[in-house]
Amino acid sequence: MSQDTDLLWLVKETQFDSQKLGKYESILALGNGYMGIRSATEEHYVGEKRDTFVNGTFDQFDDTEVTELPNVPDVFRLRLWVGGYPLDLNTGQLSHYQRTLNLQTGELTREFRWEIGEYALQFASSRFISFADRHVLGTKIVITNLGKKPLPIVFESGIDGQQTNSGSQHFSDGEKRLYKGKTLQYVTETNQSHILVSITANQDFSVGDHSTIEQTRTLMPRRQLLREYTVSLSPSEDLVFEKNAAIYSSRDNDVVYPDQNSLQQAGLKRADELVRDGYVSNLHQSAEAWRKKVWGKMPITIDSNDFMDQLSLNFARYHLHVMTPAHDARMNIGAKGLTGEGYKGHTFWDTELFILPYFIFNYPDIARKLVTYRYHGLAGARRKAAENGYRGAQYPWESSWIEDGESTPIWGPADIITGTPMKIWSGFIEQHITSDVAYGINEYLNATQDNLFGRTYGYEVIFDTARFWTSRMNRSENRQQYDINDVIGPDEYKEHVNNNAFTNYMAYWNMQLAQKLIARLKNEKPEIYRQFDQKMNLQQLAIDLADCLAHLYLPQPNAEQIIPQDDTYLSKKVIDLTPFRNAGKVDEIFDHYNLSQINDMQITKQADVILLLYLFEKSFSSETKRANWDYYEPKTTHDSSLSRLTHSIFAADLGLQDEAWRFYEQARQIDLGNNTNSSNDGVHAAALAGIWNMVIFGFGGIRYLDGTLRITPNLPRKWRSLDFRIWWHQQQLHIHETHDRLEIENLTQTHPVKFTCRENEYELSDRLVISMD
């Protein structure tokens, strides 16, 4: 790489600080969607989180806790003593420190010089998780003696099963064994879900010609399998350690393992193959997979003077692929990806409204798996609806394994006033998730025209989510309308409200979508209609939908064009939010008020009405949009990482360039910025997807509305051009935008593509150039 190219692809830690471990463990994390590992340092420090996750292996510690993604044994574990001194960068003299994540190749490297007592060494390490083979990972460490006398080293590495989820141990002690003097295998099982995990690591250890390996031992403490090497390293010579490992689980879908022995044998066979190829070859295969599957397949280029524009986009895309289980539709994306214990690995509405668009437009095959996951969870959604006295399917606010159903914890942190734990009501009444699921499926169908998916999976979800809403209506005799009472909208600072605008409009849209789909199938695909009617009684559903659509209350703009967020929001107390909007930490307001007090104020946590206006832009006038922006944005604390990205895109739509840019700059720094504690519990998955959303939807002006593609560039003044590709209706489009023109080329050319630009309609067969003057 050239120096300029380095700036676009390398994320660096240039100064070691053991008090700021969490952020770098998260943002430098490695993964491939099957597994993810926080990038803890090789040596150990108080407060570190050595998390390794295998996607889909959810387990419940006991009946008082919800299911979570368990922390599997650590492969990158290392302990090192130099002349009796433990490697600890808080001691001795440290220089030339640098840790670097190469986003292009997925390799993490680290190097430094360390002097302690009469000894001096150069330390260089590298590690990766393979993007070519989901089961493979590796590390290489080189230690060079910089002193003038032999360097006594005790080097200990292996597999460490003492890891927990903040104290909860999800695995049995397991079986440990050493093969052929250098292959370690640790097989363990989750306690409740009984998922077997096999970790096999082949360790190669060598020293220079004049150095000696004085002793090699195998250690098997409780829940650990280790190899210890005692070495005398001569001046200027190297100690070279290479570990190539493979992880398998009984939940894998690429191979079926009938018993534990077959799982063990799969690991041993792969470990032997890896050691024959070696670290460099395994890394090369992984880097080539990154190039072919991601960077070379759907390139995106921002031409600007600030390298952070491109770097932040590359960083976001790297993490989106690191966290996404492209291999398995039984799994989805956690709110923290695979980079930390935050939110227990659970899936939220984040997937449908914020993450899914990236995959729909770039990798529709992966998007199909993400929406298929919701079909696999349909039984759990039906079960939740029935338990709550409703019909149809009520999707869990937090989802984990497809059979687990609602996974939201019941209790949260302490109330600042009462000192008692606060109940987490989201799992009970934040019900817009049900419409959000249908929304994501419909967006996938609109963009891809994947009718087979609709017939096989999607339509059934759309019908049963709509059926849920027909049973969720609250009949208001006084107002002769149907209300949706006692809910939480996107603004989670408002609990137990009636007629949250976002919830009501989304429910209406969900029911209307089902109504239109029933009519279309009945008229155009009568055989498919009959099949669904026999299975789901579409005739009765159509009657219920017509009734609810005729009576559901949809909050309308008042005389000032303000859409009430809920029935009481506009009558609540207004306070000065300046101290909290400018606070250096999230949820600063809870240091001054409890949730009950905040519930009685006009304070919004994140985009609520603004999100509604963004999603349904054709349903509201420009005057209404601007009036609600002016009203709600000053009342929003943006305490959710989802908020600023929505505001940036909406501001770009309104032509508010300065505001769009300000929110874009703030949103892209949530993980990659200077806040040292912002990512301690893991990266913010939806906010990272939001970087792509802001670039492509906000500034690129791409939108898909009711099945129609809209392209209206809103390039920032600081950008010269934006170049990207998208998939639309099975055609790959190459789009190049500047301030004065729009160039579009159909790279697939199997059929024309219709789109709109500035209210004008176009049909693209091969290439078009449109003036933006």
Query: What are the Cα distances from residue 454, in Å, to 39, 220, 506, 521, 651?
Result: 40, 53, 20, 11, 34
User: Which residues, 6+ apart, have CB-to-CB distance to 27 below 8 Å?
Assistant: 11, 101, 315, 339, 671, 672, 679, 683
Query: What are the Cα distances from residue 718, in Å, to 55, 314, 507?
Result: 40, 18, 40
- pTM for this model (two decimals): 0.97
Three-state secondary structure string covering 708-723: EEEECCCCCCCEEEEE
pLDDT grade for 171, boundaries at 50, 70 and 90: very high
Let me know: does 392 contact 467? Beta carbons within 8 Å.
yes
Residue 99 has pLDDT above 90, yes or no: yes
- Is 353 buried (19+), middle (13-18) or exposed (0-12) by CB count in 10 A? buried
pLDDT grade for 584, boundaries at 50, 70 and 90: low
Let me know: does 392 contact 471? Beta carbons within 8 Å.
yes
Alpha-carbon Rg for the chain, nearest whole angstrom, is 27
Let me know: does 430 contact 606? Beta carbons within 8 Å.
no
- Tokens of residue 471, six digits: 């049973």
Higher pLDDT, 412 or 282: 282
3-class DSSP assignment, residue 597: helix
Query: What are the Cα distances from residue 253, in Å, to 56, 326, 507?
Result: 11, 12, 35
- Tokens of residue 336, six digits: 């923290």
Q: What is the mean pLDDT of residues 209-231?
A: 96
CA distance linking residue 108 with residue 100, whole number of Å: 6
CA distance linking residue 322 with residue 319, whole number of Å: 5
Residue 239 has pLDDT above 70, yes or no: yes
- Tokens of residue 733, six digits: 């489009």
Establish if 549 belongs to a structural domain.
no
Other beta carbons within 10 Å of 13: 19
pLDDT grade for 760, boundaries at 50, 70 and 90: very high
- Tokens of residue 15, six digits: 């100064």
Let me know: does 338 contact 347? Beta carbons within 8 Å.
no
Residue 581 has pLDDT above 90, yes or no: no
Let me know: does 155 contact 80? Beta carbons within 8 Å.
yes
pLDDT number for residue 578: 85
Establish if 639 belongs to a structural domain.
no
The per-residue pLDDT for range 293-345, each reduced to its tens digit, is 999 999 999 999 999 999 999 999 999 999 999 999 999 999 999 999 999 99
Q: Strands, DSSP E only, in 678-772?
A: 702-705, 708-711, 719-728, 731-738, 741-746, 753-757, 760-764, 767-771
CA 417 centroid distance within chain = 33
User: Is there a catalytic annotation at residue 759?
Assistant: no
Q: Which residues pair with 687 in a beta bridge?
A: none
Query: What are the Cα distances from residue 226, in Å, to 155, 217, 390, 628?
Result: 10, 8, 54, 61
CA distance linking residue 367 with residue 310, whole number of Å: 24
pLDDT number for residue 675: 82
Higher pLDDT, 422 or 561: 561
Of all residues in the chain, what percent carry a pLDDT higher than 70? 99
Residue 668 has pLDDT above 60, yes or no: yes
The per-residue pLDDT for range 309-319, each reduced to its tens digit, is 999 999 999 99
Q: What is the CATH number for 93?
A: 2.70.98.40
- Answer yes or no: is 605 a known binding residue: yes
pLDDT grade for 676, boundaries at 50, 70 and 90: confident
Q: What is the dihedral of CA 564, 569, 575, 581, to 10 degrees?
A: -70
The per-residue pLDDT for range 39-61, each reduced to its tens digit, is 999 999 999 999 999 999 999 99
291-299, long-range: CB within 8 Å, 24+ apart, which pairs?
291/104, 293/131, 293/321, 294/321, 295/104, 297/363, 298/362, 298/363, 298/724, 298/725, 299/723, 299/724, 299/725
pLDDT grade for 181, boundaries at 50, 70 and 90: confident
Q: Which amino acid is at 88?
A: D
Backbone angles phi, psi at 690, to 5 degrees: -65, -25
Q: Which amino acid is at 284?
A: H
CA distance linking residue 469 with residue 504, whole number of Å: 10
List the one residue out of 293, 230, 277 whose CA is nearest residue 84: 230
Three-state secondary structure string covering 432-452: HHHHHHHHHHHHHHHHHCCHH
Of all residues in the chain, what percent carry a pLDDT higher than 90? 91
Question: Which of the following is catalytic: 492, 495, 633, 737?
Answer: 492
pLDDT number for residue 768: 98
pLDDT number for residue 185: 98
- Answer yes or no: is 397 a known binding residue: no
CA distance linking residue 592 with residue 589, whole number of Å: 5
- Tokens of residue 631, six digits: 């009203």
DSSP secondary structure, 461-482, as one string: HHHHHHHHHHHH-EEETTTTEE
Pairing state of beta strands 731-738 and 741-746? antiparallel
Domain count for the chain: 1
Residue 494 has pLDDT above 70, yes or no: yes
Q: Which residues pair with 206 in a beta bridge?
A: 240
CA-CA-CA-CA torsion sign (742, 747, 748, 751): positive
List the one residue out of 489, 465, 309, 294 whose CA is nearest residue 375: 465
3-class DSSP assignment, residue 55: coil
CA distance linking residue 594 with residue 604, whole number of Å: 14
In the block, which residue shows the tokens 């789109």?
A: 755
Q: Which residues pair with 130 in a beta bridge?
A: none
pLDDT grade for 586, boundaries at 50, 70 and 90: confident
CA-CA-CA-CA torsion sign (580, 584, 587, 590): negative
Number of residues that make up the chain: 773
pLDDT number for residue 585: 67
Residue 461 has pLDDT above 80, yes or no: yes
Establish if 600 belongs to a structural domain.
no
Residue 733 has pLDDT above 60, yes or no: yes
- Is 723 buried (19+), middle (13-18) or exposed (0-12) by CB count in 10 A? middle
pLDDT grade for 257, boundaries at 50, 70 and 90: confident
DSSP secondary structure, 234-283, as one string: PTT-EEEEEEEEEEEETT-SSS--SSHHHHHHHHHHHHHHHHHHHHHHHH
The per-residue pLDDT for range 353-410, each reduced to its tens digit, is 999 999 999 999 999 999 999 999 999 999 999 999 999 999 999 999 999 999 999 9
523-526, long-range: CB within 8 Å, 24+ apart, which pairs?
none
Alpha helices in 327-417 (DSSP H): 350, 356-362, 364-376, 378-387
- Is 489 buried (19+), middle (13-18) or exposed (0-12) by CB count in 10 A? buried
- Answer yes or no: is 122 a known binding residue: no
Establish if 37 belongs to a structural domain.
yes
Establish if 538 belongs to a structural domain.
no
DSSP secondary structure, 23-35, as one string: HHHHHT-EE-SSE
Backbone angles phi, psi at 11, to 5 degrees: -105, 125
Establish if 94 belongs to a structural domain.
yes
- Answer yes or no: is 277 a known binding residue: no
CA distance linking residue 140 with residue 162, whole number of Å: 23
Backbone angles phi, psi at 83, to 5 degrees: 55, 30
- Break the chain down into helix, strand, coil percent, rounded to 5: 35, 25, 35
- Tokens of residue 407, six digits: 């996974």
In the block, which residue shows the tokens 């387990």?
A: 59
Full domain range(s) for residue 243: 11-296
